Structure 1
Amino acid sequence: MLEHFEAKYPEKEDMYEEEVAQLESLPTAFEEGEWSREDLEWIIEWKVGVFLKPVLRNLRENDDEEVRTRIEEAVHETSIRFKAKALTSLKGIGVPVASAILLFVNPNRFTVIDERAWDVLQQTGYLSQELSEDPTVDEYLIYLGACWTLANEYDVCLRTLDRALWVLDIEGESITSD
């Protein structure tokens, strides 16, 4: 069922082809330390769209060494909380952008927190609280846990789930149990 909604995602996401290419290359680039600021800026553009300029302006206030250190921590540490906190310690990076970076670090383990997807999960009872205006690391951990549960329930990967949730919200649909 979720695959049906994921199939509509390419029609709705302008950056779909770039996203697929980046999902193929960036996890290895992050693991090998071969990523660039341009890669990071692409992830930010993919996540924030129209809010790109202020986020990038703030991100550029971090020196290169600080950015590299925080990204390396996010790639190599085991604690998800620590990964997210390392990223959000950078100027310009909030939890939503940090979650997007984590997605491209390891799409099999992480998904990107999104207000639309959160709303679908809340409406269907997978999440019990509303998402705050400035999501916290704790909210990301709750969201990620709900996504892992749902992905396991429907036997889909996190990326399939994320794309389907995004489309479900746009189309005003709901997840129904089989």
Structure 2
Amino acid sequence: MELDCSVVDREARAYERREPFHEVERDQLETLPDAVAAGDVTWKDVEWVVWWYFRRHLGAYPHRRRLDVEERFRSNDWEDVREMVEAVGKVDTDEERLACLETLDGVDTGVASALLQYLRPDAYLAVDERTWDALRAAGVLSTPYPDPPSTTAYQRYLERCRTLAERCDVDLQTVYRALWRLGGDES
């Protein structure tokens, strides 16, 4: 599969028409960064992202594993969560941002990448097997999805996504939507 800009555009548009979470994702992408900047982020805002990371698979993600992560995340103290979310805006590198979030129970690199997608949608997008496999099928990544992904693997994925966004003159969320569609069976 060739991953040219017309494919990115077509698949991102298909995502907007067909994916059931598109409207709520758009709302969260628009409101969560402002809520964090204003100091108005809530537990529910952050928990929603953890919930979204697994449930967007519409039942295809192993139920027990999802529940385990969600329960572990809920065991975090709100002050710790709030502090780490705020810390994301105060550190300088991708590695530091991931490390801040990964101090929380239930947050590995995949979940941290989802949190970053919603906290800083201009600079990050979530990594998962489906989007990784879309890049691999296009020859952009050469290795199978590392489950769970390491920080290094995420950085490699993110760099490829940023390059694609720049080449196609689109934002990272457009790239995410296209990769999600391309990584599924129905695209």
Task: Flag whether TM exceeds 0.5 (same fold).
Answer: yes
CA RMSD of aligned residues (A): 1.6
* CA distance in structure 2 between the partners assigned to 1:171 and 1:57 by the alignment: 30
Alignment of 1:100-139 (within 5 A): 100-139=114-153
Q: 87, 97, 106: which is aligned to 2:111?
A: 97
TM-score computed with the length of structure 1 as normaliser: 0.90
Q: Is the 8 A contact 1:30 1:75 kept in 2?
A: no
> SS state of the match for residue 8, structure 1?
helix
Report what 1:43 is aligned to: 49
Tell which has more relative contact order, 1 or 2 (C-alpha 8 A, sep 6+): 2
Report what 1:176 is aligned to: none
Code of the residue aligned with 1:14 in structure 2: it is P
Report what 1:55 is aligned to: 69
Matched-pair identity in %: 34
Code of the residue aligned with 1:126 in structure 2: it is V
Deviation at 1:71, TM superposition (A): 1.2
Task: Please list every run of 5 or more consecutive structure 1 residues that lacks an aligned counterpart in the other structure.
Answer: 174-178
Code of the residue aligned with 1:48 in structure 2: it is F
> SS state of the match for residue 39, structure 1?
helix
Task: Please list every run of 5 or more consecutive structure 2 residues that lacks an aligned counterpart in the other structure.
Answer: 1-5
Deviation at 1:60, TM superposition (A): 2.0
Cα-to-partner distance string for 1:108-142 (whole Å, 9 max, x where unaligned) = 11111121111111122211222211111111111
Alignment of 1:1-178 (within 5 A): 1=6, 2-49=8-55, 51=63, 52-171=66-185
Structure 1 stretches of 4+ moved >4 Å? none
* CA distance in structure 1 between the partners assigned to 2:161 and 2:82 by the alignment: 29
TM-score computed with the length of structure 2 as normaliser: 0.86
Cα-to-partner distance string for 1:69-90 (whole Å, 9 max, x where unaligned) = 2111123211110100111111
